[in-house]
Every structure is written in structure tokens, then in C-alpha cells.
């Protein structure tokens, strides 16, 4: 996940709470369906309830939690329908992006994408699940950044946490997916470098379909 504090200034307590609680949820520290207590979370984070409450309200707007009357704060379950919808959006958007990028990357963009692939390979070899998932998310965000359409970038950044959450869930259940993902990313990037937009789009669709199959077998 990327930083939510790009300015470099000391983050406020509500931002600290937001970062720590979101990390806890996205990285599987609490299971979907878990009921959280604001008071207990505040004790755990060693701060008052006010910044914790503000952090949870922000996370509710991002569909990560739901305030449940008479219960507390419920960690939102990502349903199969949610996942299918998520992949449908990404397939339509990202296949268009990679087709348009093919053969048009600058030298600097090419170096950044190759560096990402090198890191992916090293992380896959070492079995670093968390690192692989973060790098996977970065790979797709890089492609969107290179395209340059700010509206596309907004959509992808809104999906960023869901991308991370879904991919992390896949890799935890199917560890071999780490290596497969690297190989699929390499094929997509190679088609882009070679200027073959149609192949890049096809490889991107196959890549996302392979991820979706972990939840919805063909």
C-alpha cells in the first residue's frame, strides 16, 4: 500500500489510527465478520476513542467496515459478487490501458516497470507473500499512471485497497499464485515493450481471469 502521508509531516492521531487499522484489516489481522469495539481498539492503539472513531468512519466510506447498531463496528465481508464486479471493472479498464501503452513507454517508464518485475521475481523466490502482494498492486497502478488519464487513475486508486485485499486473500489460499502472477505480469510487460497491444490486452485478461478462478472456478 502507498503512503497516505506524502507531505512528510507528522501524521495526526486519526491518520495514525486509520493507517494501523486499515493495515490490520487488509492484511488479514482480523477476519471478515469480526465485530470491533471502538473502546478496545483505542486501548490497543493507546489513544482516545475520538481518533479511532474518525478512522473507522473514514474506513466505512471505503466499504471496509460497517457500523452495526447495538453491536459495534463490523469488518465488511467481501462477497463473491463483490469480487466478480471488481474483476469486471479491472478487466475493462486495464485491458484498454495496456493496449494503448504498447510500444509507447518512455525510457524512464520502461526502467520503472522492469524494476518492478525484478522485485516481483525476487520476492516470489523468497516467498515474501506481503511483499509480493504490495508489488502486484504497484504493477497495475504503474500501468495506469503511465497511461496518464487522471480519471482512470482515480478509479484505480479507489480500487487500490480492494485490489490489495483480494490479491492477499488469493495468495494466502494459493501460495503458488505468487510465481504464476510474476510470470503473467512478465508476459504482459513483454507484449507492451514489443509494441503488441492486442497481445498485451489478451494477456491482461487471462491474468485477471486466472485470479478470479481462485474464487469462481470455471
CATH of the domain at 46: 1.10.10.10
Contact 176, 160 (CB under 8 A): no
Same domain, 84 and 70: no
Same domain, 46 and 106: no
Does a structural domain hold residue 160? Answer: yes
Question: Which set of grid coordinates corresponds to residue 154?
Answer: 482515480
Same domain, 114 and 179: yes
Per-residue CA distances from 205 to 96, 115, 210, 213 (Å): 10, 23, 9, 12
- Which of 26, 60, 75 is the C-terminal boundary of a domain? 75
Does a structural domain hold residue 27? Answer: yes
Which residue from 117, 124, 98, 132 is spatially nearest to 179, judged by alpha carbons?
124
Does a structural domain hold residue 92? Answer: yes
Does a structural domain hold residue 66? Answer: yes
- Which of 75, 95, 126 is the C-terminal boundary of a domain? 75
Give me the mean pLDDT over the 17-40 stretch.
86
Beta bridge partners of 74: 35, 66
Give me the mean pLDDT over the 8-12 stretch.
63
Beta bridge partners of 198: none
Domain of residue 167, CATH code: 1.20.120.530
* Count: domains in the chain: 2
Given this model, what pLDDT does residue 130 score?
86
Same domain, 121 and 48: no
Contact 1, 26 (CB under 8 A): yes
Give me the mean pLDDT over the 107-132 stretch.
94
Does a structural domain hold residue 4? Answer: no
Give me the mean pLDDT over the 148-174 stretch.
82
Which band of pLDDT confidence, cut at 50, 70 and 90, is reported for residue 2? Answer: very low
Contact 178, 134 (CB under 8 A): no
Res. 170: pLDDT tops 60: yes
Does a structural domain hold residue 8? Answer: no
Which band of pLDDT confidence, cut at 50, 70 and 90, is reported for residue 215? Answer: confident
Which contiguous run of DSSP H or E holds residue 75?
Answer: strand 72-75
Given this model, what pLDDT does residue 10 score?
55
Which contiguous run of DSSP H or E holds residue 172?
Answer: helix 150-173
Does a structural domain hold residue 1? Answer: no
Mean pLDDT of the chain: 87
DSSP 66: E
**Buried-state track 157-191, b at ≥16 Cβ within 10 A, e below 16:** eebbbbbbbbbbbbbeeeeebbeebbebbebbbeb
Res. 110: pLDDT tops 80: yes
Which band of pLDDT confidence, cut at 50, 70 and 90, is reported for residue 147? Answer: very high
Same domain, 46 and 112: no
Domain of 17 in residue numbering reads as 13-75
Same domain, 52 and 86: no
Distance of CA 49 to the CA centre of its chain: 28
Contact 120, 185 (CB under 8 A): yes
Same domain, 161 and 179: yes
Amino acid at each position: 500500500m502507498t503512503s497516505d502521508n506524502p507531505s512528510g509531516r507528522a501524521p495526526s492521531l486519526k491518520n495514525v489510527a486509520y493507517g494501523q487499522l486499515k493495515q490490520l484489516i487488509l492484511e488479514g489481522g482480523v477476519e471478515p465478520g469480526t465485530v470491533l469495539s471502538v473502546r478496545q481498539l483505542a486501548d490497543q492503539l493507546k489513544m482516545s476513542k475520538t481518533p479511532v472513531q474518525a478512522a473507522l468512519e473514514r474506513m466505512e466510506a471505503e466499504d471496509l467496515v460497517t457500523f452495526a447498531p447495538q453491536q459495534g463496528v463490523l469488518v465488511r465481508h467481501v462477497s463473491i459478487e463483490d469480487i466478480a464486479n471488481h474483476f469486471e471493472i479491472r478487466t475493462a479498464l486495464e485491458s484498454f490501458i495496456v493496449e494503448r501503452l504498447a510500444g509507447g513507454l518512455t525510457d524512464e517508464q520502461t526502467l520503472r516497470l522492469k524494476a518492478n518485475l525484478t522485485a516481483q521475481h525476487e520476492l516470489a523466490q523468497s516467498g515474501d507473500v506481503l511483499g509480493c502482494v504490495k508489488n502486484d498492486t504497484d504493477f497495475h497502478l504503474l500501468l495506469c499512471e503511465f497511461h496518464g488519464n487522471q480519471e482512470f487513475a482515480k478509479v484505480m486508486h479507489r480500487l487500490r485497497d480492494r485490489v490489495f485485499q483480494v490479491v492477499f486473500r488469493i495468495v494466502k489460499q494459493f501460495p503458488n499464485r505468487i510465481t504464476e502472477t510474476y510470470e503473467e505480469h512478465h508476459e504482459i510487460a513483454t507484449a507492451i515493450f514489443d509494441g503488441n497491444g492486442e497481445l498485451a490486452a489478451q494477456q491482461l485478461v487471462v491474468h485477471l481471469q486466472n485470479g478470479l478462478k481462485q474464487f469462481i472456478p470455471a
